[in-house]
Amino acid sequence: RRPPRSTPLYSSAASDVYKRQVYKDDPTIMAWELANGPYPGNYSEKATNWIRAACENIKKTDKNHLVAIGNTGNLHVNYYDSIKLDCIDYGTLHVWPENFGWYNPKDSKTFDNAVAKTIEFMKSNIEGIRKLFGDEKKCKPIILEEFGLARDNRGLGANSTTQYRDQFYSTLFQFLKHYMDKKMLSGVNFWAWAGEGRPRHTVWQQTDDWVGDPPNEDQGWYSVYDNDTTLDVVRKYTRAFVPAYAVQDHTLKWSFWVFIGVPLVVVVAGISVDLLKRRKDDEDENLLVAM
Could you tell me the pTM of the whole model? 0.81
Strand extents, DSSP E, the chain: 31-33, 66-68, 91-95, 142-147, 187-188, 193-195, 224-225, 256-259, 266-269, 287-290
76 class by beta-carbon count within 10 Å (0-12 exposed, 13-18 middle, 19+ buried): buried
CB 165 within 8 A of CB 149: yes
CB 234 within 8 A of CB 169: yes
Between the alpha carbon of residue 220 and those of residues 163, 168, 188, 193, the distances in Å are 16, 17, 21, 10
Q: What is the pLDDT along the chain (291 residues), one digit of tens a residue?
A: 445 667 777 777 777 676 666 788 888 889 999 999 888 888 899 999 999 999 999 998 888 899 999 999 998 889 999 999 999 999 999 999 999 999 999 999 999 999 999 999 999 999 999 999 987 788 999 999 999 999 999 999 999 999 999 999 999 999 999 999 888 999 999 999 999 999 999 999 999 999 999 999 999 999 999 999 999 999 999 888 876 555 444 333 333 333 333 322 333 333 333 333 333 333 333 332 322
Q: What is the pLDDT of residue 273?
A: 31
CB 161 within 8 A of CB 155: yes
Distance CA 144, CA 108 (A): 25
CB 92 within 8 A of CB 79: no
Distance CA 106, CA 74 (A): 28
CB 245 within 8 A of CB 162: no
Residue of 40, 48, 52, 41 lying closest to 11 (CA atoms): 52
Distance CA 147, CA 31 (A): 19
Q: What is the pLDDT of residue 18?
A: 63
